[in-house]
């Protein structure tokens, strides 16, 4: 049996160096992201709850935001996030926490995330990051692609009558009389049948820059809302003159009017109908368009493989789901921006 060596003075440093050699993604984020720039936006959520001068000082809010980034990257619950920060060298280094420092507990993490949700801070953080990426000339602005991804949530075991009331926008009376039961019921999520499979939850509807694959806008909608219904909310005046790519969900007169309203070039797929199939020319054009439109699938693929975007989102209600999806889109843009900076060998920090 190999003898155990005694602990050395620099063993922690050597361990971190080994973690760096295997390309720690969190270290890369710290290298290229100026986290302090987000402080002024995050602080807006705490103006009404400024701490008193007595008691334990609060945790740094930028550090707490980085905690949420870790949580989204590794699909961790609040309790497991606390444990993993205590357990992992890489997490502690990313957050700037030493062994002698206190670690935020699960309730503190929950409260911080709720404050950001209640003040719509995730939307502001997303917009601010997008502006920083654009100022760094990482967005190509050569066209946009739109698409939506289904976000599954735990399915509700409701009766037929209860589902009927929810569909009509009413909450069952016995739920109102039982607050504990109502708090566990998602009254916002809806059903969608796609490719013969039933889905329950929401959609992450995004617009990406064609050249850079940066998410430039997003909307969170319920699963039953058709993709075309959210198209207008994704577009703005800055899209004028650019091509818009999308699958056949964005075909039809209604979407065509929206695209013309924003003075964009319509590059969406054509759709065949009963007794009116696509011509060979239209099929070939759709195949050509797919070579560009498919880039949006890379974004969803990254979210599913690296940000656990394919997992069931265990939050209840549209507000919390929207915050979680917004954070996912923020984390994706952070890593995509870092990839572009390295690929172009740019000496900048966002």
Helix (H, G, I), strand (E, B) or coil at 202: strand
258-273 pLDDT tens trace? 999 999 999 999 888 8
pLDDT for res 55: 59
155-196 pLDDT tens trace? 888 878 887 887 777 888 778 778 887 788 888 888 888 888
What is the torsion angle, in degrees rounded to the nearest 10, for the CA atoms of residue 217, residue 223, residue 273 and residue 233? Answer: -30
What are residue 6's phi and psi, to 5 degrees? -75, 155
Instruction: Give the position of tokens 């309730």.
Output: 107
pLDDT band at 17; cut points 50, 70, 90:
low
196-238 pLDDT tens trace? 888 989 999 999 999 999 999 999 999 989 888 999 999 999 9
pTM given for the model: 0.90
Domains (ranges, CATH) in the chain? 11-119 (no CATH), 140-153+190-318 (3.30.420), 160-188 (no CATH)
Helix H or strand E encompassing 68 = helix 61-74
98-134 pLDDT tens trace? 888 889 999 999 999 999 999 999 999 999 999 999 9
Distance from C-alpha of 52 to C-alpha of 58, rounded to nearest angstrom: 10
Which of 160, 213, 165 is CA-nearest to residue 335? 213
DSSP letter for each residue of 77-106: -HHHHHHHHHH-HHHHHHHT--TTS----H
Distance from C-alpha of 329 to C-alpha of 323, rounded to nearest angstrom: 10
Distance from C-alpha of 21 to C-alpha of 60, rounded to nearest angstrom: 29
Which of 148, 140, 328 is CA-nearest to residue 247? 148
- Contact at 8 Å (CB) between 217 and 206? yes
């Amino acid at each position: 049996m190999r003898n155990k060596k005694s602990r050395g003075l620099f063993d922690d440093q050597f361990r971190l160096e080994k973690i760096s050699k295997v390309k720690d993604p969190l270290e890369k984020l710290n290298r290229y992201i100026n986290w302090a720039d987000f402080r002024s936006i995050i602080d807006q959520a705490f103006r009404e709850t400024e701490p008193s001068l007595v008691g334990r000082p609060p945790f740094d809010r930028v550090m707490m935001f980085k905690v949420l980034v870790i949580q989204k990257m590794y699909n961790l619950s609040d309790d497991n996030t606390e444990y993993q920060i205590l357990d992992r060298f890489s997490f502690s280094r990313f957050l700037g926490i030493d062994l002698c420092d206190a670690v935020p507990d699960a309730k503190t993490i929950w409260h911080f995330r709720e404050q950001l949700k209640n003040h719509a801070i995730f939307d502001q953080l997303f917009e601010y990051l997008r502006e920083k990426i654009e100022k760094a000339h990482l967005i190509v602005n050569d066209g946009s692609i739109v698409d939506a991804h289904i976000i599954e949530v735990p399915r509700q075991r409701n009766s037929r009558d209860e589902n009927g009331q929810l569909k009509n926008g009413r909450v069952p009376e016995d739920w109102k009389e039982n607050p504990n039961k109502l708090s566990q019921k998602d009254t916002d999520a809806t059903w969608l049948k796609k490719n013969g499979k039933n889905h329950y939850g929401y959609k992450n509807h995004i617009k990406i820059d064609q050249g850079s694959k940066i998410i430039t806008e997003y909307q969170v909608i319920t699963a039953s809302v058709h993709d075309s219904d959210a198209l207008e909310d994704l577009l703005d005046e800055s899209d004028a003159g650019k091509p818009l790519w999308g699958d056949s969900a964005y075909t039809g007169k209604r979407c065509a009017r929206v695209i013309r309203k924003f003075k964009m070039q319509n590059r969406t797929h054509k759709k065949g109908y009963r007794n009116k199939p696509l011509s060979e020319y239209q099929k070939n054009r759709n195949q050509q368009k797919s070579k560009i439109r498919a880039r949006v699938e890379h974004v969803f693929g990254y979210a599913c493989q690296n940000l656990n975007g394919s997992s069931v989102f265990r939050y209840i209600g549209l507000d919390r789901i929207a915050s979680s999806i917004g954070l996912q889109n923020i984390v994706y843009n952070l890593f995509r921006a870092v990839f572009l900076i390295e690929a172009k060998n740019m000496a900048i920090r966002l």
